């Protein structure tokens, strides 16, 4: 049971897909048989050695895992406190952690005989990963993307098209990830027979949050082994950025029962966590409600209407958060903080200049929090942050934010 904290934080979700009061399966009658089929297939795959053998093979030879654990020496010296390590998931094929999960879901889709894959995407990284794996297996791929995100993540839209995917811009709402997910769910209900919905984060109805977490847990599993090799012990603090929360759950999950390890999730503070809601910090500034098939913390107004939220980072621009994070927050196992756009940009620049790594804007939020706490921690304190994506997709956004004219370089 997810509520049984006597032994382990890793026992959730319960048989109804709940982490405490969060999660569950709030879907229409039409979707229910599809969700149940998926759950049954995943349950079979979980204990099937041939499923994991295929995953391990492709993680190694197609994705390039294990990703390195890297000691950021110059950054550590510069900050003058704790030792900073980066889990380099930006080095994966396609440039982010998203492909870890996509591989798992598409192998499941193939086992279920599905030939058409749909996905939603915000920053475009999940869309690119889905288009990539679909191309590899010769599957039709349709990606829903908010029109605003299509505009600000153009390089990824082009990549998806090169990979043979159809990208459908979504103009409802503010044209961001929430709206893309609504349309993807609508597509799924309409095309039940041949279509598999590949969700890109630890959200959606059960079994998605747990399934995506399980696929992404490779990040934390490797980080744990690599840290033992590098330092002979576990890190003191682990930190990751949160959109829906999949890279963070992936890093956190294997450490949940190592109670001496401090766990910090970093939400998008946008222009500041204020009453105008110009941020996307669902735990820091939201309250529980139901969206996209699960109960979790959401940005909403007094009437329970979902608010749009705001962040410079397209991948963090989601007004909800995975239900397991809501639960970890409520039981106090993980802490959640917010970092503003301006702080993330500072971290982005510092990482480029100090480490020769151009980070995505999403992990720049995690790095900004590292920059905040590391100077006050002793030199034997070890921090491990998840560098979950590379910044190629963000160069136009960053140029605009810094006032650089790309035509005048
Ligand atoms: C590089 C990167 N990091 C983080 C995220 C946020 O997703 P999640 O919180 O599910 O890891 C995204 C989403 O697009 C992303 O592209």
Protein residue whose Cα sits closest to atom 1 of ligand 1 = 389
Instruction: Report the separation in Å between the CA atom of 237 and the middle of ligand 1, taken as the mean of its atom positions.
Output: 20
Protein residue whose Cα sits closest to atom 14 of ligand 1 = 315
Instruction: Report the separation in Å between the CA atom of 315 and the middle of ligand 1, taken as the mean of its atom positions.
Output: 5
Lowest mean pLDDT across 132-146, 307-321, 379-393: 307-321
Protein residue whose Cα sits closest to atom 3 of ligand 1 = 362
CA angle 10, 71, 245 (to 5 degrees): 35
On the question of pLDDT at 274 being above 80, the answer is no
Peptide bond into 66 cis (omega under 30): yes
Q: How far is CA 394 from CA 107, 185, 329, in A?
A: 30, 27, 30
Q: Which domains does the chain have, with CATH numbers?
A: 18-60+97-212 (3.40.50.1100), 64-95+217-408 (3.40.50.1100)
CA angle 197, 198, 204 (to 5 degrees): 80
Structure tokens at 330: 């409520």
Question: pLDDT digit string (tens) for 78-116?
Answer: 999 999 999 999 999 999 999 999 999 999 999 999 999
Instruction: Report the separation in Å between the CA atom of 7 and the middle of ligand 1, taken as the mean of its atom positions.
Output: 30
pLDDT of residue 36: 97
Question: pLDDT digit string (tens) for 22-80?
Answer: 999 999 999 999 999 999 999 999 999 999 999 999 999 999 999 999 999 999 999 99
The number of the ligand 1 atom at minimal distance from the alpha carbon of 203 is 10
Instruction: Report the separation in Å between the CA atom of 243 and the middle of ligand 1, taken as the mean of its atom positions.
Output: 6
The number of the ligand 1 atom at minimal distance from the alpha carbon of 95 is 1
Residues framing ligand 1 (Cβ under 6 A)? 96, 122-123, 125-126, 201, 241-248, 315-316, 360, 362, 388-389
């Amino acid at each position: 049971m997810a509520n049984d904290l006597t032994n382990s934080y890793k026992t959730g979700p319960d048989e109804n897909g709940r982490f405490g009061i969060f999660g569950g399966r709030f879907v229409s009658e039409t979707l229910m048989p599809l969700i149940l089929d998926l759950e049954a297939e995943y349950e079979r795959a979980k204990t099937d050695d041939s499923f994991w053998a295929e995953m391990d093979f492709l993680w190694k030879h197609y994705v390039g895992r294990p990703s390195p654990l890297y000691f950021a020496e110059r950054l550590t010296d510069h900050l003058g406190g704790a030792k900073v390590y980066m889990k380099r998931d930006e080095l994966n094929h396609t440039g982010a952690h998203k492909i870890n999960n996509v591989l798992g879901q598409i192998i499941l889709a193939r086992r279920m005989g599905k030939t058409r894959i749909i996905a939603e995407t915000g920053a475009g990284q999940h869309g690119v990963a889905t288009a990539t794996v679909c191309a590899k297996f010769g599957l039709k791929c349709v990606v829903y993307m908010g029109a605003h995100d299509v505009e600000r993540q153009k390089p990824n839209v082009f990549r998806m098209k090169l990979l043979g995917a159809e990208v459908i811009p979504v103009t409802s709402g503010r044209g961001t990830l929430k709206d893309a997910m609504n349309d993807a769910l609508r597509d799924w209900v309409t095309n039940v027979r041949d279509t598999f919905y590949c969700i890109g984060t630890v959200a959606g109805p059960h079994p998605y949050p747990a399934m995506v977490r399980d696929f992404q847990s490779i990040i934390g599993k490797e980080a744990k082994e690599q840290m033992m090799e590098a330092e002979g012990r576990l890190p003191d603090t682990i930190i990751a950025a949160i959109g829906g929360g999949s890279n963070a759950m992936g890093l956190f999950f294997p450490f949940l029962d190592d109670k001496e390890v401090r766990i910090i999730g970093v939400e998008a503070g946008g222009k500041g966590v204020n009453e105008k809601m110009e941020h996307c910090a669902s735990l820091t500034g939201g309250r529980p409600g139901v969206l996209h098939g699960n109960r979790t913390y959401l940005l909403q107004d007094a009437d329970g209407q979902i608010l749009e939220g705001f962040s410079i980072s397209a991948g963090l621009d989601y007004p909800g958060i995975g239900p397991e994070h809501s639960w970890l927050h409520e039981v106090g196992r993980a802490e959640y903080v917010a970092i503003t756009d301006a702080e993330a940009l500072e971290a982005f620049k510092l990482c480029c200049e100090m480490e020769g790594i151009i980070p995505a804007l999403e992990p720049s939020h995690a790095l900004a929090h590292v920059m905040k706490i590391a100077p006050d921690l002793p030199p034997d304190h070890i921090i491990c942050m998840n560098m979950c994506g590379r910044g190629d997709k963000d160069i136009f956004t960053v140029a605009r934010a810094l006032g650089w004219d790309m035509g005048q370089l």
